[in-house]
Amino acid sequence: FCYSPEGRKTVLDVGCGTGFLSILAAREGAVRVVGCDLNEAMCEMAREAVNVNRVREGVVEVLNVNSKNLTLKEEERVGLVVSETADCGLLGERMLGSLQSAKETLTVSGGRIVPSKARLHVMLLASPFLKSMCVINPAALVGFEIPSSLRLEPLDPYLCEYIRECPYSPLSAQTPSLQFDIPEALDALPHVVGFPVTATQDGSVDAIAMWWDMWLDDDCFITTTPHRECASGGKICSAWEQAVFVPPNQVSPVISKGDAVLIDVACTPKCVHVRLSAEPQGLQQRSVSVGERDVSVLNDKGRNQAYDKAIRKALAQVRGGRGRAVDLSRGWSITCLMAARAGARTFLEDCRLP
């Protein structure tokens, strides 16, 4: 509150969730705290948390409303806006737009915004495990093929993974890629920034990990680094995973130690995209979005071989050597194709339909 203009100890907690930040603000002497969240269940939880923690009556008000739809009279404008609406990719919960709107319409002149700025880091990874969650391996499909005119794209722009818990080898040191102020960044963010990352090892680039640092004031910042220590003194937070971007190539680009690998970081108000500059865009192909679980199942060669063998054996025991099969698989599956190849009249049933 020492940064708040005119000592105005009033606070807006954007995306208040459980109300934790609102409670902290009240304990630190705020005379009024407004917490807002779109999720009614979270609002109820926040109100209960306020009561359980014996916050002074009337100090914290929790509203089930989008902060962009919140209106405050001139004399009610706050001196401090706080928010913890970052995801592992930083911008996935549209933090920039919410904080810019709050600064323009809900704070007094000179009001403080927490967080104040952010910085992104990237690191090249060799990890067949991470790649197998996003890119189909034709060798795992037991003889079936995906049409070359069809491009399978991840349902989400990035994986959310604690990469320290995944098998991988770093192919570069962590490299700062982009730094910007919040919330001014919404108007100033470049669409695409390209920069080189120096390879520290030979290997295949299967994935690019990204994490962020976020400053809460001029001195204190938190970081989602996967490393056990932060050399620059940030507070390591385990509440967020790292964002992992997987190039769509079936054959991963091979690099050598000392290579300068060009990376593009593209920013929109709701997402950060990281890719290799040389990545093919596949603009001439039809694209279908596939979830990471479905890709992982399709890439499970052992599972596919076992099902193929079992289906062949079962159909061979059906009278006349032919039978009918009903596929109750959920999501993407090739078991119905296995049955058809083994001679069955196959009926495909999509269990996701009502």
| Same domain as 154, residue 96 | no
Q: d(Cα 316, Cα 36) in Å, to the nearest integer?
A: 62
The band of 16, judged by pLDDT with boundaries at 50, 70 and 90, is: very high
> Quick one: which of 82, 102, 91, 101 has its CA closest to 16?
82
Q: Which helix (H) or strand (E) holds 103?
A: helix 95-105
| Same domain as 135, residue 278 | yes
Residue 190 pLDDT > 80: no
63-67: long-range pairs with CB below 8 Å, 24+: 63/34, 63/35, 63/36, 63/37, 64/36, 64/37, 64/38, 64/39, 64/40, 65/36, 65/38, 66/36, 66/38, 67/12, 67/14, 67/15, 67/36, 67/98, 67/101, 67/102, 67/106
Q: Model-level pTM? A: 0.85
Query: In this predicted model, what pLDDT tens digit does every residue of 278-334 receive, in sequence order?
Result: 765 544 567 788 888 889 999 999 999 999 999 999 888 876 656 778 888 877 889
| Same domain as 126, residue 236 | yes
The band of 354, judged by pLDDT with boundaries at 50, 70 and 90, is: very low
Residue 1 pLDDT > 70: no
Q: At what angle do helices 40-52 and 20-27 cross, to 10 degrees?
A: 30
Residue 354 within a domain: no
Residue 107 pLDDT > 80: yes
**How many domains are there within the chain?**
3
What is the DSSP-derived secondary structure letter of residue 55?
Answer: P
What are the backbone angles phi and psi of residue 282, rounded to the nearest 5°?
Answer: 60, 35
- What would the mean pLDDT of 245-256 be, rounded to a whole number? 89
Per the listing, tokens 């995801």 go with 87
Question: Which structural domain, as residue segments, surrounds residue 322?
Answer: 300-348
| Same domain as 209, residue 161 | yes
The band of 118, judged by pLDDT with boundaries at 50, 70 and 90, is: very high
For the chain, the average pLDDT equals 87
| Same domain as 143, residue 28 | no
| Same domain as 209, residue 222 | yes
The CATH number of whichever domain residue 267 belongs to comes to 2.70.160.11
| Same domain as 256, residue 225 | yes
Q: What is the pLDDT of residue 315?
A: 87
Q: What is the pLDDT of residue 110?
A: 84
Q: What is the pLDDT of residue 2?
A: 45
Q: What is the pLDDT of residue 351?
A: 55
| Same domain as 105, residue 74 | yes
Residue 54 within a domain: yes
Question: For the residues of 242-290, what is the DSSP string, one character each?
Answer: EEEE----SSPPEE-TT-EEEEEEEEETTEEEEEETT----TTSEEEEE
* Last residue in a domain, options 76, 96, 114: 114
- What would the mean pLDDT of 121-142 be, rounded to a whole number? 93
| Same domain as 309, residue 238 | no
Q: d(Cα 338, Cα 342) in Å, to the nearest integer?
A: 6
| Same domain as 261, residue 237 | yes
| Same domain as 161, residue 102 | no
Residue 144 within a domain: yes
Residue 154 within a domain: yes
